[in-house]
Amino acid sequence: MKKVLCILLIAVLALSLFAGCAKTPAKTDEPGATDAPAVSGLTIAIPNDPTNEARALMLLEKNGYIKLKEGASITATILDIESNPNNIEFKEVEAAQLPNVLQDVDYAIINSNYAIDADLNPVEDSLMIEDSASAYANILAVYEGNEDKPFCKALVAALNSKQVADYIAQQYGGAVVSVVENPGDGYDPDLNYDELAGTKITVAASPTPHAEILGVVKQILAAKNVELDIREFTDYIQPNNVVESGEIDANYFQHVPYLDNFNEENGTHLISASAIHVEPMGLYGGKQADLSPLTQKVS
């Protein structure tokens, strides 16, 4: 009996020692130990086209959330990110589809034309937004050599009018900003509008805000008996292709960095005839309502 009791006592003591060791917490002051939680990755959707992807990344860099490699330019991609302390996962999406994926990601960086078309107000709804940088002014583009033709001069004069500048200011409340320094009356004084009377000018444009702005131009030209035919496109490729082919006279949807890259990659021959407005690009919340989850900035 004594032998059995001794065995039971030894077993109880062994179990007590094992339990005590199992409950002992790790010391956080030991080398390599930490009680800080790991940073969770956040998903940000960005445009997948050249220059606009870089533009989105530069917006994040300017606000301190990533750092790009030295020398990264306006064609930078996610491969040019040097530091990403929040472990952001980037989802590259066709620009027009960004509003559609917003609910599925933490944030999305969206061009203002697509944001406005999705009933997002870039001034009120964005969590961060670009300055009105002149490098990204939206332009009227034509085939090289057509910039001095009467139809182009008539378009430029109308787009550079006070009527258009006033419409942009009143209609978009800062989400679209005119870059025309000295707006005119809508007409080129050196142009013979009688010779243009009865002609049709075709312009390819994004629906918002470009086609809307061209609605004002249409009225200005109609007063001189010149018809403006506005053709709406929802992508960034075909508007340049149809001007290159001569099917359409001009287009109005892009900025110069995008056009320069497009010409280089596609062997096209389009040039800027005039800069009209800027659409600041913004970051919008999807699953996140504010910027607080982006807890770390590049040191």
CATH of residue 64: 3.40.190.10
Number of compact structural domains in the chain: 2
Rounded to whole angstroms, what are the CA distances from 281 to 45, 91, 133? 13, 17, 10
For the full predicted model, state whether its pTM sits above 0.85: no
- Four-CA torsion 147, 153, 157, 159, nearest 10 degrees: -50
With a CB cutoff of 8 Å and minimum separation 6, the contacts of 278 are 132, 133, 134, 136, 137, 138, 176, 177, 179
Residue 262 and residue 150 share a domain: yes
- The model's pLDDT over 40-63, given as tens digits with 9 standing for 90+, comes to 689 999 999 989 999 999 999 999
Residue 163 and residue 127 share a domain: no
Residue 139 and residue 266 share a domain: yes
Q: What is the DSSP string of 66-107?
A: -EEPTT--TT--GGGEEE-TT-PEEEEE-GGGHHHHGGGSSE
* Residue 292: inside a domain: no
Peptide bond preceding 209 in cis form (omega within 30 of 0): yes
CATH of residue 255: 3.10.105.10
Residue 159 and residue 121 share a domain: no
* Residue 184: inside a domain: yes
Residue 238 and residue 120 share a domain: no
Q: What is the pLDDT along the chain (299 residues), one digit of tens a residue?
A: 444 444 444 444 444 433 443 333 333 343 333 344 445 689 999 999 989 999 999 999 999 999 999 999 888 999 999 999 999 999 999 999 999 999 999 999 999 999 999 999 999 999 999 987 668 999 999 999 999 999 999 999 999 999 999 999 999 999 999 999 999 999 999 999 999 999 999 999 999 999 999 999 999 999 999 999 999 999 999 999 999 999 999 999 999 999 999 999 999 999 999 999 999 999 999 999 999 999 999 98
Q: Are 293 and 152 in contact (CB under 8 A)?
A: no
- Encoding tokens for residue 276? 């009209």
Of 99, 115, 131, which marks where a domain is finished?
A: 131
| Structural domain span for residue 118 | 43-131
Of 131, 162, 194, which marks where a domain is finished?
A: 131
Q: What is the DSSP string of 131-144?
A: ---GGGEEEEEEET
Q: Which residue has the tokens 């919008």?
A: 284
Rounded to whole angstroms, the maximal C-alpha distance in the chain is 125
Handedness of CA 252, 254, 258, 260 (dihedral sign): positive
Q: Are 281 and 110 in contact (CB under 8 A)?
A: yes
Residue 207 and residue 75 share a domain: no
* Residue 114: inside a domain: yes
- The model's pLDDT over 125-149, given as tens digits with 9 standing for 90+, comes to 999 999 876 689 999 999 999 999 9
Residue 243 and residue 127 share a domain: no
Residue 155 and residue 100 share a domain: no
Residue 205 and residue 178 share a domain: yes
* Residue 23: inside a domain: no
Q: Specify the DSSP class assigned to residue 35.
A: -
Run of H or E including 239: helix 238-245
- Encoding tokens for residue 116? 């406005």
* Residue 57: inside a domain: yes
Residue 268 and residue 179 share a domain: yes
